Amino acid sequence: MKLFSKTPFDRLSPQEHRQVIAPAFGLILVIVLGLFILGLSPGVSRQIRQTYLGASFLFALDSLVLFRYALLKIRKGDLLPWLILGGHAIGLPVIAVFLPNIGLLFMAILGPITAVLVVILVGRFVAHAFIIINQIALLLLMIVHKPGIFSHYFAVVIILLFNIVFVEVIFRIGQILNQEITHLEVLNHVARQVGSTIEPKQVIELLSNTIREALSADTYYVGIQQNGVLRLEVLYDNGTFFPPQDISSENSVTALVMQRRQSLLLNDVPAELSRMGMQPQSIGEERISLSWMGTPMIAGDRVIGVVAVGAYRYNAFTIHDLRLLENIAQQATLALDNAFHHAEVEEQSRSDSLTGVYNHGYFLLALGEQMRLAQGKGKSLALIMLDIDFFKSYNDTYGHLVGDQVLIHFSDVIRRYIKSIDLVGRWGGEEFVVALPGATGEQATQIAKRISESLRTLQMQDRDGKPIPPPTISQGIAVSPYEANDVYELIDLADQRLYMAKSNGRDQIYPQKGHWEYIKTN
């Protein structure tokens, strides 16, 4: 039997239900005890004594059955607790009419108390029904058995309205508390989840899921700012996820939120943007949100991004929703900032501190993975070993600072001619190594030539501003799987060919083009 509505106090456990009822039951017992003592007092007439003792027994029994049984079991769906509550609603006016002094006292106390307990334990509509039945029964009994002046009936109506408003206040307080508890639970969940990962993608995915579950939104996006560009890592609109995309944040509410470093809530987007001199913009589907709210993601003194939520209806969000979005975004921002710092530290541990390319150790690991993938797909992998000719002369003639600049420029030139999937590392000293997944010997030779030619045009100066000759390089190339099936065999072969290039007079690429034509033919 589902006669009750969902109450904001549904979180209460059975033990907490009893704790809610206990003070009311205690108050009734005190009053009942007072009636009982008055009934036994000397000098009281027999009729009054019987009335007081009978009333104390009646009210004790009624309160015991109602508070200790009916209200605790009413949500289980049994019929008996409902009959008890209905009987209580009608019984109180009956007693109030036939036992005027005592009955009115108990009705004034038990009526509001019962209504409050019902709204907490059962729901607002049942509480309103109880009040209406209770007061209508009293009004009818007054009309039939004790007709009075109009003011008495008017008082009953006023009491009815007062009790309804009183119950509504209690219900709405419960709603507010329930909303705050829900928000805290959401934030606690987010904090626990983001604390378990240091991967930016996982943090952003968690942020996306939380927004979709916690807020009634038709569309939302999470934008991360990098190098002055806002990239929407998550874009959800009307049930569809769109691919990540870069957007222009100029002259938009997104830009306003990031520039002001303040959240913004709009419940009539067209009208409010018009007052601000801005035009609505659509992201995702070609449709304008009618309600929108956004908050910046601030880490320290940096704005790292923005989180925004929209709806295709007016007045979709409240200030409580904005606070929840702010708190969710703040938790995610802390996690993202930690993740970015961790990624930077990890990248630094992989990189050569001077040139920024991979260091010897990490390059070996990455090369092994690239070779495994290439072999799994049946593709080739070319390796180039590069060494600056007579590099020691730069250090001896111009100083180590100029020598460092030569290495930095050299690594920059290499990166200019390779793809994002290619690997470049500093093998040691002035020796570098490049891995080209999917490349043939001829393609590797072409890249080697471009690097060598580009270095010849490099313009450099010493500490006094005088030009210094550009470096030349010797290069050795080997290709897997045609010449080697193992990482170390491939490196060793490329290294041997590097020294062959040096032996042939330096500024050379070894082997020559004919070698690769021979491999292709055979």
C-beta of residue 234 within 8 angstroms of C-beta of residue 207: yes
* Beta strand residue intervals within 342-416, DSSP E: 381-388
Q: pTM for this structure?
A: 0.55
136 closest CA partner among 115, 156, 108: 156
The predicted pLDDT at position 507 comes to 92
Helices 150-194 and 319-350: crossing angle in degrees, nearest 10, is 0
The predicted pLDDT at position 198 comes to 64
C-beta of residue 106 within 8 angstroms of C-beta of residue 87: no
H or E element in which residue 477 lies: strand 473-480
The predicted pLDDT at position 249 comes to 62
C-beta of residue 5 within 8 angstroms of C-beta of residue 168: no
| Locus of tokens 């015991």 | 64
317 closest CA partner among 436, 215, 196: 215
What is d(CA 403, CA 405) in angstroms, rounded to the nearest whole number? 5
Percent of the chain predicted with pLDDT > 90: 24
Q: Are strands 473-480 and 509-510 parallel, antiparallel or unpaired?
A: parallel
How does pLDDT run across 318-365, given as a tens digit for each residue?
888 898 888 888 888 877 777 777 667 777 778 888 998 999 989 999
Is the link from the previous residue into 481 a cis peptide, with omega within 30 of 0?
yes
The pLDDT-based confidence of 450 (bands split at 50, 70, 90) is very high
What is d(CA 332, CA 198) in angstroms, rounded to the nearest whole number? 11
Mean pLDDT of 170-178: 82
90 closest CA partner among 159, 149, 141: 141
Number of neighbours of residue 184 by Cβ within 10 angstroms: 12
How does pLDDT run across 397-443, given as a tens digit for each residue?
888 888 899 999 999 999 999 998 999 999 988 999 999 999 999 99
Provide the token pair at 433: 């190594």
Q: Is the pLDDT of residue 292 over 70?
A: yes
